[in-house]
Amino acid sequence: MKVTIAGGGIGGLTAALALHRKGLDVTVFEQVSNLNALGVGINLLPHAMGVLEQLGIGDSVAAAGIEATEYIFMNRHGQAILSDPRGLAAGYAHPQVSIHRGELQMVLLDAVKRALGADRVRTGCRLARFEDLGDRVRATFVDRYGNPAGTHDADVLVGADGIHSAVRAQFYPGEGAPKWNGVTLWRGVTAGAPFLSGASIVKAGFKDQKFIVYPISRTLAGEGRVLINWICNLRRPPADIPAREDWNRAGRLEDFLPKFEHWKFPFLDVPALIRGAEAVYEFPMVDRDPVDRWSFGRVTLLGDAAHPMTPVSSNGAGQAIMDAEALAQSLGTLPDPVAALQDYEARRLAQAASIVRLNRQLGPDVILDIVEERAPQGFNRLEDVVPREELTAILGQYKQAAGHRQSVRS
């Protein structure tokens, strides 16, 4: 069975590797001309790492990142609210890994090229349209200037082409732009001293103003430093959303740093860390409404093309990886491509949609809002503000909905 994958991001490359291991003939088409290690940090939860380990690249991914051991919720004064063990430290069968998104993509790209052949990743090809011809599906590509870049026939087309997916747009032509929740993110990577355990993820603040920080690489360990990923979230007026062409644009410190100027915690000088970044990127926190179908005939969606979600609790890349595993299981088991894509959709759509909805409700981040509402000036004893059991129950409910329990040791 031949498969065309439109999109060479994390989801598309993982799918290519997983499908190839099931014996399928796969070709990936990516719109950028050169795939480079771009972006900032992400977290791979244990169930996603389990998939990557099965694909034979778990060690390479772990070596490129940092195994996270705890996730700490804090208020804006730097007081710890809840510390949640992560990965192996929490008894899961697989680690949680914090890693540079570009480094992860390069590990995947190298694995795909070695397994499938370098000619099976074709760059500079953006999907323009597709036709389901009944016995096959034909994808038509253009280059960055809109010039013809060829066609490709296969038994299946997988749209892994992101939140602005051309495949999804052909299925849902009236959907319109992604939905902004009013929050803008500024992100950067800074070299700095390890903090707390050296493998801690910290989320501080509340719904209108948050700061997230965690280390993503030990490449500077010889200098006593690590690469630290940081994110600043601010709620802004609805009219302030940038045009699509400006997403991931260079950010300006004056647009957000003044709000964090006094966020100096005992373990971290937040404004100094922000100023130390070589580059800052800005983009809106957006998603799309869940849809009833991903699969139409011989064509389906995967990753952000299927279920774009706001970046809450590290689920974006992980859910794309879970999609890839499910797609490979379905296509590798059922000989009828149409039936296989329906099976894949049945495996994944409901859970992914539930996470989109939970993230719109801020997922476990409501823990921060509860404490901010009840103790805006801080607290002496957390138990005087909120029972710890209430907070752990919120976190546990989200974990179960997001599939964290899939990787726990028996």
* Residue 66 identity: I
> Looking at residue 404, what is its pLDDT?
67
Per DSSP, 279 falls in state -
Query: Which tokens go with 152?
Result: 């490709």
Beta strands in 56-208 (DSSP E): 66-68, 70-74, 80-85, 96-100, 121-123, 126-132, 137-142, 148-154, 156-159, 179-192, 200-206
List of residues 6+ apart from 192 with CB closer than 8 A: 225, 226, 228, 273, 276
* Residue 83 identity: S
> Looking at residue 247, what is its pLDDT?
57
> Looking at residue 245, what is its pLDDT?
47
Entry pTM: 0.93
Taking the chain (410 residues) in runs of 10, the rounded mean pLDDT of each run is 97 98 98 82 94 97 96 95 94 95 95 97 97 97 94 98 96 93 93 96 95 94 94 82 64 95 95 96 92 98 96 84 98 98 98 91 88 94 91 85 58
Distance CA 348, CA 235 (A): 31
Distance CA 316, CA 347 (A): 17
Half-sphere exposure of 340 (CA within 13 A, CB side): 21
Domains of the chain, start order:
2-37+105-177+291-360 (3.50.50.60)
Query: Which tokens go with 127?
Result: 């999907």
Helix, strand, coil abundance in the chain, percent, nearest 5: 40, 30, 30
Distance CA 302, CA 9 (A): 11
Q: 3-class SS at 56?
A: coil
